């Protein structure tokens, strides 16, 4: 009888341990997911404090670390043993990334507060014997704080590795840098260990230029790019940062080609863009044995701590592009801060971009400058394929590289898949057609017209659109142009969807959300009686599309259900009409 009771007690204890373990995992995961959700809207690299003074950095590290160590010793006598363990762990974490934790304090506090509350609710509602029965609010607080700050430290190290890969790959070996993009590789975690051990405690000594340039790029995107930035938040952080740089460069070049008051200045800027792109993308960035620069030779085998010990004004992320005279470029850009920051940021990711796609993009800008009218539907498709299709190819190169699928710049024939790139081009082409349809009025006010001549009743219509007299063309005619262009976009959309399906799974939802948000502009244009100056998708609809794409409610399923519903209603209506007629 005693043995039976002992056996039942053992089973009960094992069951309690299992329940507690599951609860601990769930609460920890909740804290991590909440942390990821709150922080995904900003780039972690913007919080590393490259402009901090050494005194401020050391004060933040040592004061926080000392606080938790003292708290841990006090907990040994006045609280649970687990609390002291958590305090000692927090003291160690703070020694590495304390200043980063301080700068992310609002996100950390929000995640920890909600997770602590969840733990206390679990403790108060559990009816079975539990290891947590003796815990207090401070224990749950320290547990969730340890979980969140551990994740925060990894975010900090990954952000530095993503922005300053030369710290661990000083010779800029393209193969090794490509391998560092996948967390599933051992070399990635070795690099993370190096960053944690040698860099985190002294991250204020990093050159601030990459971070300051990124801030300028984000600032240059402005409020007009909210959809892009919202969509980009659905991607992994390292990919999101590079896509933001690429899009910021695209926008900056667009402004350089469109905004100058004289045609001569626009042509000059385009020639400058093409020349810099060719230097960046066609010249090997790797440091070779024949390099004459003594500094580059010394860096080829330097350790991370040695790289950090360099003069803070030396930007190691641009050293592989020694063929560019950055001061001369600054002057030739008329000291345009945003454009200069975009060029330098692009140089840092140039190694995995396709030179031909970038050159074709310049060809599209040249077509804009020449200003020849688009004569036919085929010419319109060609233009859309150049201006946004090639940008789509460049985005695909970045996506494949940052998700660990190799370098698609054209040098690695095995990694590169031209069929996927062609479909990605179709995705960009489709979005550009929607963009052209939406902006007929806005383009006319800027003396531009992308509507094909064979869509128009006569040449006078084109002249009116080019001379900002769109009101004389008439609402119905302008809307008919937009609808025809949208019909073209619909024809390309199936291939565009295949382009999305060919991308890595971790980015498909973000791309699909952006694509469908943009495609939702079409129905708005078709349904409005008055053609809008700039059609916009309502915020609630954007959120619904993003939610549907993220959680797997594919458009094809909804279209099928909608089609079935429409057929059902149509059949019911027809049957009712027949009944009425027979009566």
Backbone angles phi, psi at 180, to 5 degrees: -70, -10
Bigger pLDDT: 80 vs 238: 238
- Round to whole Å and give the CA distance between 330 and 325: 9
% of the chain beyond a pLDDT of 90: 44
pLDDT at residue 82 in the model: 84
pLDDT at residue 566 in the model: 46
**What's the alpha-carbon Rg for the chain, to the nearest Å?**
29
Q: Choose among 338, 341, 385, 373: nearest CA to 492.
A: 385
The answer to whether residues 205 and 307 touch, using CB atoms and an 8 Å cutoff, is: no
- Round to whole Å and give the CA distance between 63 and 57: 10
pLDDT at residue 298 in the model: 54
pLDDT at residue 53 in the model: 86
pLDDT at residue 11 in the model: 44
The answer to whether residues 479 and 531 touch, using CB atoms and an 8 Å cutoff, is: yes
Long-range contacts of residues 114-119, Cβ cutoff 8 Å, at least 24 apart: 114/30, 114/31, 114/34, 115/27, 115/28, 115/30, 115/31, 115/34, 115/140, 115/144, 115/147, 115/148, 116/140, 116/141, 116/144, 118/27, 118/30, 119/27, 119/143, 119/144
Q: Choose among 203, 209, 215: nearest CA to 167.
A: 203
pLDDT at residue 6 in the model: 46
pLDDT at residue 483 in the model: 93
pLDDT band at 292 (very low <50, low <70, confident <90, very high): very low
3-state secondary structure of 435: helix
pLDDT at residue 13 in the model: 56
| Token representation of residue 80 | 């649970």
Bigger pLDDT: 438 vs 535: 438
User: How do residues 392-418 score in pLDDT, each as one tens digit?
Assistant: 999 999 999 998 888 888 777 777 888
Hey, how many other C-beta atoms are within 10 angstroms of the C-beta on 480?
15
- Round to whole Å and give the CA distance between 353 and 237: 19
User: How do residues 194-233 score in pLDDT, each as one tens digit?
Assistant: 999 999 998 989 999 999 999 999 888 876 566 566 666 6
pLDDT at residue 64 in the model: 94
- Round to whole Å and give the CA distance between 551 and 558: 13
SS (H, E, C) 180-241: CCCCCCHHHHHHHHHHHHHCHHHHHHCCCHHHHHHHHHHHHHCHHHHHHHHHHCCCCHHHHH
Q: What does the DSSP 8-state code read for residue 1?
A: -
Bigger pLDDT: 538 vs 3: 538
pLDDT at residue 7 in the model: 38
User: How do residues 326-384 score in pLDDT, each as one tens digit?
Assistant: 999 999 999 999 999 999 999 999 999 999 999 999 999 998 898 889 999 999 999 99
263-282 vs 237-258: helix crossing angle, rounded to 10: 150
- Round to whole Å and give the CA distance between 66 and 498: 56
- Round to whole Å and give the CA distance between 104 and 44: 9
User: How do residues 139-172 score in pLDDT, each as one tens digit?
Assistant: 999 999 999 999 999 999 999 999 999 999 878 8
pLDDT at residue 423 in the model: 87
Q: Is the pLDDT of residue 305 over 70?
A: no
């Amino acid at each position: 009888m005693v043995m039976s009771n002992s056996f039942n007690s053992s089973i009960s204890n094992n069951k309690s341990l299992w329940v507690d373990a599951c609860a601990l995992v769930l609460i920890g995961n909740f804290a991590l997911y909440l942390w990821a959700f709150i922080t995904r809207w900003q780039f972690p690299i913007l919080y590393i404090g490259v402009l901090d003074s050494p005194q401020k950095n050391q004060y933040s590290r040592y004061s926080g670390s000392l606080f938790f160590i003292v708290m841990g010793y006090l907990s040994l006598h006045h609280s649970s043993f687990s609390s002291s363990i958590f305090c000692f762990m927090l003291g160690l974490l703070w020694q590495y990334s304390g200043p980063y934790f301080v700068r992310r304090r609002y996100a950390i506090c929000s995640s920890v507060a909600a997770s602590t509350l969840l733990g206390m609710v679990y403790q108060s509602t559990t009816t079975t014997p539990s290891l947590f029965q003796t815990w207090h609010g401070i224990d749950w607080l320290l547990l969730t704080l340890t979980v969140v700050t551990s994740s925060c430290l990894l975010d900090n190290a990954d952000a530095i590795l993503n922005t300053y890969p030369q710290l661990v790959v000083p010779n800029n070996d393209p193969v090794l840098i490509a391998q560092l993009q996948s967390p599933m590789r051992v070399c990635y975690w070795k690099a993370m260990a190096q960053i944690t051990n040698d860099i985190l405690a002294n991250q204020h000594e990093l050159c601030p230029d990459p971070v300051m340039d990124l801030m300028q790029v984000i600032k240059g995107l402005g409020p007009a790019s909210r959809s892009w930035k919202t969509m980009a938040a659905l991607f992994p952080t390292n990919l999101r940062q590079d896509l933001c740089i690429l899009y910021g460069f695209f926008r900056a070049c667009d402004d350089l080609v469109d905004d100058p008051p004289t045609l001569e200045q626009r042509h000059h800027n385009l020639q400058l863009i093409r020349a810099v792109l060719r230097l960046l993308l066609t010249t090997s960035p790797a440091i070779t044995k024949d390099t004459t620069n003594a500094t580059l030779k010394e860096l080829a085998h330097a350790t991370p701590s040695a790289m950090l010990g360099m003069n803070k004004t030396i930007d190691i992320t641009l050293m592989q592009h020694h063929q560019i005279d950055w001061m001369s470029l600054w002057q030739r850009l008329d000291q345009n801060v945003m454009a200069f920051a975009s060029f330098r940021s692009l140089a840092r990711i140039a190694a995995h971009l396709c030179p031909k796609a970038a050159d074709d993009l310049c060809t599209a800008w040249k077509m804009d400058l020449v200003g020849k009218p688009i004569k036919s539907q085929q010419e319109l498709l060609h233009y859309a394929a150049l201006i946004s299709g090639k940008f789509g190819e460049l985005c695909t190169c970045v996506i494949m590289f940052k998700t660990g699928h190799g370098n698609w710049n054209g040098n690695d024939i095995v990694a590169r898949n031209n069929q996927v790139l062609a479909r990605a081009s179709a995705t960009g082409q489709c979005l550009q057609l929607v963009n052209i349809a939406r902006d007929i009025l806005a383009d006319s006010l800027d003396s531009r017209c992308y509507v094909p001549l064979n869509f128009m009743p006569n040449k006078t219509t084109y002249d009116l659109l080019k001379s900002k007299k769109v009101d004389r063309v008439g609402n119905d005619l302008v809307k008919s142009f937009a609808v025809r262009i949208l019909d073209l976009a619909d024809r390309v959309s199936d291939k565009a969807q295949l382009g999305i399906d060919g991308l890595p799974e971790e980015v498909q939802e973000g791309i699909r959300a952006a694509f469908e948000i943009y495609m939702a502009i079409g129905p708005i244009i078709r349904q409005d009686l008055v053609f809008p100056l700039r059609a916009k998708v309502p915020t609630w609809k954007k959120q619904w599309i993003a939610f549907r794409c993220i959680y797997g409610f594919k458009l094809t399923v909804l279209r099928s259900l909608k089609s079935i519903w429409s057929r059902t209603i149509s059949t019911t209506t027809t049957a009712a009409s027949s009944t009425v007629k027979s009566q």
